[in-house]
């Protein structure tokens, strides 16, 4: 049975003191999650990684929001895998719709990063999702399928099972709108079918697929009731301790 996962994406929020305050205050709720067999984590900005690592319980997964596939070089403004590993980071979010839109990140670029992370025994959290126009045209499944096939191209089955997938319909991110649990389940089940065609059904059954898109304490339990949804990648609702606690409680059920 796949283990549930809650990952908070802080995006460009929180100063170092604010991140430290969150980290110092999350111990009890992390312990509660772990005691119920749930993995929990947050993805701070680069400057907040160290404060969170230092002050949070060791059970809290701390992920970066991006990484460069090269170990070093003339890549101004970038962060390398060795830099993240040196401070103790083992997870990285890739392909978020905001990075795809604002930074031109492609599925092909994510594929290079995924391979580099896996070669360094790190966990990629690979995001996929469609625009409102694509959704309204009924083209969600082929659009997301292409993102999966390109992003995970040329991986071995034993590598693919280490990847976490996050399905986030762009029209539901930060808009207050959210896909119904049935829409989310239908798309995520399709993604699992694509993974089965690429890597075999046993591997596809091991891969955790999260839902993201205006997930809140009040609706997370609905999504978790669906068989193919293994957790949530949450933005704004993960920034405050009380809200984060509510998300965990919703996951526990």
Domain range summary for the chain, segments of one domain joined by +: 5-252
Token reading at 86: 């040196």
Give 58's DSSP letter: T
Q: What is the pLDDT of residue 176?
A: 72
* Residue 202: CB atoms within 10 Å: 10
3-state secondary structure of 61: strand
Q: What is the pLDDT of residue 253?
A: 81
Q: Which of 105, 159, 168, 185 is catalytic?
A: 168
**Catalytic annotation on 182?**
no
Distance CA 41, CA 107 (A): 24
Answer CATH for 5-252 from 3.40.1350.10, 3.40.50.720, 3.30.360.10, 3.20.20.70: 3.20.20.70
**Catalytic annotation on 72?**
no
Distance CA 94, CA 191 (A): 17
The rounded Cα 116 to chain-centroid distance in angstroms is 17
Q: Which of 69, 96, 105, 185 is catalytic?
A: 96
Q: Concatenated DSSP letters for 73-92?
A: SS-TT--BHHHHHHHT--EE
Q: Of 59, 61, 67, 94, nearest to 83 (Cα)?
A: 67
pLDDT per residue, tens digit, the chain (253 aa), is 899 999 999 999 999 999 999 999 999 999 999 999 999 999 999 999 999 999 999 999 999 999 999 999 999 999 999 999 999 999 999 999 999 999 999 999 999 999 999 999 999 999 999 999 999 999 999 999 999 999 999 999 999 999 999 999 998 877 777 789 999 999 999 999 999 999 999 999 999 999 998 899 999 999 999 999 999 999 999 999 999 999 999 999 8
């Amino acid at each position: 049975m796949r283990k549930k996962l809650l990952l908070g994406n802080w995006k460009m929020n929180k100063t170092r003191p604010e991140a430290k305050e969150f980290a110092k205050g999350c111990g009890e709720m992390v312990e509660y999650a772990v005691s119920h067999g749930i993995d929990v984590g947050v993805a701070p900005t680069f400057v907040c990684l160290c404060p969170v690592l230092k002050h949070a319980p060791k059970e809290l997964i701390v992920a970066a929001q991006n990484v460069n596939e090269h170990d070093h070089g003339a890549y101004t403004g970038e962060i390398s895998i060795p830099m993240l590993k040196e401070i103790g980071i083992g997870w990285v979010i890739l392909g978020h719709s905001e990075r795809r839109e604002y930074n031109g990140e492609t599925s092909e670029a994510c594929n290079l990063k995924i391979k580099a992370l896996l070669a360094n025994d790190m966990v990629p959290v690979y995001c996929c999702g469609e625009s409102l126009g694509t959704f309204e045209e009924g083209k969600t499944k082929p659009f997301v399928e292409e993102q999966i096939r390109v992003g995970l191209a040329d991986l071995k089955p034993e590598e693919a099972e280490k990847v976490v997938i996050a399905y986030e319909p762009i029209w539901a991110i930060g808009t207050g709108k959210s896909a119904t649990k049935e829409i989310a389940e239908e798309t995520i089940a399709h993604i699992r079918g694509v993974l089965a065609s690429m890597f075999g059904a046993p591997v596809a059954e091991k891969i955790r697929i999260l839902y993201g898109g205006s997930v809140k304490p009040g609706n997370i339990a609905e999504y978790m009731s669906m068989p193919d949804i293994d957790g949530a990648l949450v933005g704004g609702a993960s920034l405050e301790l009380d809200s984060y606690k509510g998300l965990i409680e919703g996951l526990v059920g």
